[in-house]
């Protein structure tokens, strides 16, 4: 059965979608110079859903090329690579971690 879910808090022009290689429930939507972070919850009290975790600005010339374990890798120039750890990813993982 095909299921379509609403992705909240995104109103921009979509350039790219990247799924995290290590955490298949985390994905980012990228527009010109901003990245929006989401988590997909296949099971919850009501039904599957997508939750907005946060957004951050990227340098204008940084183009996303990969997402792995919460680290977004971007190509800045032909030979340069820029990587950043998604802070909203870390905060969410710490909140969800069982004590």
Select the more confidently predicted residue: 80 or 55: 55
What DSSP letter does each residue of 22-82 carry, written as one string? S-TTEEEEE-SSEEEEEEEESS-SSS-EEEEEEEEE--TT-EEEEEETTEEEEE-SSS-EE
Q: What does the angle CA 71 – CA 69 – CA 73 come to, to the nearest 5 degrees?
A: 25
Return the pLDDT at 99.
40
Q: How confident is the model at residue 98 (pLDDT cuts 50, 70, 90)?
A: very low
Instruction: Tell me if the pTM is above 0.85.
Output: no
Q: How confident is the model at residue 91 (pLDDT cuts 50, 70, 90)?
A: very low
pLDDT, tens digit (0-9, with 9 covering 90-100), for 6-63 = 888 888 899 999 999 998 899 999 998 899 999 998 887 878 889 998 888 888 888 8
Q: Are 27 and 19 in contact (CB under 8 A)?
A: yes
User: Beta strand 34-41 with 49-57: parallel, antiparallel or unpaired?
Assistant: antiparallel
């Amino acid at each position: 059965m095909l299921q379509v879910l609403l992705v909240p808090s995104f109103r921009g022009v979509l350039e790219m979608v990247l799924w995290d290689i290590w955490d298949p429930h985390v994905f980012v939507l990228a527009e010109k110079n901003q990245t929006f972070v989401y988590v997909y919850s296949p099971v919850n009290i009501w039904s599957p859903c997508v939750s907005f975790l946060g957004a951050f600005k990227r340098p204008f010339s940084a183009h996303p090329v990969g997402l792995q374990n919460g680290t977004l890798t971007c190509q800045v120039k032909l030979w340069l690579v820029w990587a950043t750890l998604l802070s909203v990813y870390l905060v969410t993982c710490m909140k969800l971690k069982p004590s």
